[in-house]
Structure 1
Amino acid sequence: MESIKNKLEEIKKELETESREYNIISLGSLHEMEFPENAWAIRNMIPLEGITIVSGAPSSFKTWITFLMAIAIAKGEKFLGLFESTQSKILIIDEENHLREVKRRMERMDKNGDLPIFFLSQEGFLVRDISAQKKVLKICQDKGIAMVFIDSLVRVNNADENVATEMSAFFRELKKFCKAGITVVLIHHERKEGLSKGAIGSRLRGSSDILAAVDSHISIRKSKDDKNILTVEQSKLRCDKEFDPFDISVRDTEDETFFEYLGERPKELSKQQSAKAIILSALEESSTDLAIKTIVEAVRGEEQVGDKTVRIALKELIKAGDVLEKSSGVKNEKICYLPTPSA
């Protein structure tokens, strides 16, 4: 019965759309329009009334970081003591974690129970469910909530994330929240490192339409050398220049978890990180072992990095055991290959 009701509602909206005439604007009228300057939930990170994706691999602290963002916004304080925020009430839709785990994480970061943060936990919310949309929008309206965090895309999407048309429909529905004056932050997973081509945006799992649809994309990666260091990068910011990559340290005590801004990441290190990802991808996709010269050319074709940077990245991968090398038997040329996965 509910599905029939939803279908009738969709048909009604389609008919309303068909009967409404388009409103075109002349160039002269456009020049005369005045728009406010860019407005931010968190400056240079999360545009107000837009959609931001925060992505990362499993255990990369992406949910922790979004909770930290939510706390800063709820207080109207600077995120990481650096990025200004606009104070607002927040709804966190968590379809990933049990409330017990949500409580544990929030208390480890801030024990203030009076913050204007509300939770909708494991209720089976789906973005494309019109009835569920209306319920959440009503909650936001009744409580004066202007920002919604969603964990995660895969849990609130009942379509194939690899199909562009499906994801286009998903984001059309999600943008209804933005039209209602609500800022959306969506957590999403990244591809396995060997399957991403190095560019930050290509790490997002699923259709490329996901990146195309959002206003900002922030990626979080855990350092291979130190599990307590996170690198935060931005592949897209529709309304401004992307921020430079920076590092965060994670420190645990018995009762608390602290996140500290360490400063911008040296550009050369960021290039090396991209080079490593492309090297691993090239070796994984190749049916044969690759000569070092071939690897250097492959990386140069994907990223604007010099030979020296590629060779340093390859040397570090070999040292870590992620890539193996041997002599090809031809003029002492070295060839590289991936280690055989253990059973």
Structure 2
Amino acid sequence: MGGRQPRRGRTAAGHPLTEPLPTCRVGDIEARPEEDRWLVEGLFTRRAVGVLGGPPKAFKTWVGLDMALSVASGTPCLSRFPVRETGPVLAYLAEDAGEEVRARTAALAKGRGITLDALDLFVITAPVLWLDDSEHRERLRRTIEEIRPKLLLLDPLVRLHRQDENDVRAVSGLLGHLRELNRTFDLAVLLVHHTAKKERAHPGQSLRGSGDIYAWLDAGLYLTKRKDGILLTVEHRSAKAPEPLSLSLVTESGGTARLIVSELGPGEEREVAGDLAAATIDEIERAAEPVTRSALRARLGVRNERIGRILKALERKGSIERTNGGWSLRPADRRPTRDQTLELPFA
């Protein structure tokens, strides 16, 4: 073709060319060793964005501070989960005065035999931080550049923006900004968020507002109030999660506090199993066709072994039946009467 060729970096009309997106061959991406997978083993993966969700007065802020203290000090989180990457932590707690944040953190630190003075745990003291404000975003970015934290704790989401939390576009913009900080600065982000009053089949689906929040997260920590205390449920996008655990806050004389998790007792196991069985039936009932075990596992966010035990129990009970295409509700005229029902095993 004849004619003058455009100069490098400019279009034929003389306008600067848009910079192309950076790329690389997939084989050139550095593989991550298994031992480098975790920030807090079993609880939070490295460079994850995640949500700590629960109703009011369910120890959300305590758990967030416990993780922050653990990453900054290298001590186990919730007295159980070892920290695999230690470093500075940056936190903003919008609902708590500075002296309250210090008091809670000091109580947790005292329970581990460490002092606050030596910790690289930094608290943003600005009266407000709006993630939907360009100036505030830039100030947060510059703070992260200066401190280079391994973990950014933001508590709670509802106090960090002025948008409608049910507006998918608005929420997507907030979460997209946090994901950009996560990838740019190689840090984990833990976002504290409230759950709706109405419980759903899976705790992650109970997060208040847009469903984009649940879709965004790499790790989810959910606190649920039970008759005998608080239930902690964990899920990961790309790692195996621990079984649900019972969580308690233990305070002792002298201003010491410890968060402790323990295996579920028989009564708690039965309650969790009953909830999962009801959720499984709800998912099958909502489907227009038989549902596979793998689909139920994905929708309910549970381990394969756990959903398998529930399906077998419900099949023995006569509530569901297996077909070539998956699991379906058993026809009403063939379901057991009340005195024929069987007790569900622990899930």
The TM-score, its normalising length taken from structure 1, stands at 0.69
CA contact (8 A) 2:71 2:151 kept: no
Which contiguous aligned blocks of 4+ residues in structure 1 show a shift greater than 6 angstroms?
306-309
SS in 2 for 1:134: helix
Residues 251 and 137 of structure 1, relative CA distance in 2, 3 Å threshold: same
From 270, 274, 286, give the equivalent of 1:272: 274
CA contact (8 A) 1:222 1:231 kept: yes
Correspondence for 1:301:
285
CA contact (8 A) 1:96 1:122 kept: no
Point out where structure 2 has 5 or more consecutive residues left out of the alignment. Answer: 1-16, 287-299, 301-306, 315-336, 339-347
Correspondence for 1:135:
139
Residues 154 and 259 of structure 1, relative CA distance in 2, 3 Å threshold: same
List per-residue Cα deviations over 1:220-260 (Å, max 9, x = no partner): 12322x2xx321102x4122122221112222234222222
Question: For the residues of structure 2 that align with 1:165 and 1:30, how far apart are their CA atoms?
Answer: 31
Equivalence map 1:161-172=2 (5 Å): 161-172=165-176
CA RMSD of aligned residues (A): 3.1
SS in 2 for 1:145: coil
1:71 aligns with 2:69: yes
For 1:95, the aligned partner's letter is A
Q: CA deviation at 1:110?
A: 1.9
SS in 1 for 2:32: coil
For 2:212, the aligned partner's letter is D
Residues 265 and 36 of structure 1, relative CA distance in 2, 3 Å threshold: farther
CA contact (8 A) 1:244 1:264 kept: no
From 177, 180, 190, give the equivalent of 1:176: 180
List per-residue Cα deviations over 1:255-291 (Å, max 9, x = no partner): 2222222125776442224457x6xxxxxxxxxxxxx
Residues 143 and 244 of structure 1, relative CA distance in 2, 3 Å threshold: same
Question: For the residues of structure 2 that align with 1:185 and 1:199, how far apart are their CA atoms?
Answer: 20
Residues 105 and 240 of structure 1, relative CA distance in 2, 3 Å threshold: same
Question: For the residues of structure 2 that align with 1:232 and 1:297, how far apart are their CA atoms?
Answer: 23
Correspondence for 1:312:
none
List per-residue Cα deviations over 1:99-120 (Å, max 9, x = no partner): 2322222222224222211111
Query: Which has the higher Rg, Structure 1 or Structure 2?
Result: 2
Correspondence for 1:145:
149
Q: CA deviation at 1:186?
A: 0.6
Question: For the residues of structure 1 that align with 2:282 and 2:64, how far apart are their CA atoms?
Answer: 35
Question: For the residues of structure 1 that align with 2:123 and 2:194, how far apart are their CA atoms?
Answer: 21
Point out where structure 1 has 5 or more consecutive residues left out of the alignment. Answer: 1-17, 279-295, 310-331, 334-343
SS in 2 for 1:79: coil
Question: For the residues of structure 2 that align with 1:34 and 1:142, how far apart are their CA atoms?
Answer: 27
List per-residue Cα deviations over 1:295-324 (Å, max 9, x = no partner): x96476377646988xxxxxxxxxxxxxxx
For 2:224, the aligned partner's letter is R
CA contact (8 A) 1:152 1:186 kept: yes
From 207, 210, 218, give the equivalent of 1:207: 210
From 47, 51, 54, give the equivalent of 1:53: 51
Correspondence for 2:108:
109
CA contact (8 A) 1:56 1:189 kept: yes
For 1:242, the aligned partner's letter is A
List per-residue Cα deviations over 1:135-186 (Å, max 9, x = no partner): 2232233234232100111111221111212111111111222122222111
Correspondence for 1:11:
none
Q: CA deviation at 1:48?
A: 2.2
Question: For the residues of structure 1 that align with 2:285 and 2:43, how far apart are their CA atoms?
Answer: 29
Question: For the residues of structure 2 that align with 1:132 and 1:297, how far apart are their CA atoms?
Answer: 46
Residues 30 and 306 of structure 1, relative CA distance in 2, 3 Å threshold: closer
Residues 60 and 31 of structure 1, relative CA distance in 2, 3 Å threshold: same
Correspondence for 2:164:
160
Percent identity reads: 21
Say how many residue pairs are matched.
Answer: 271
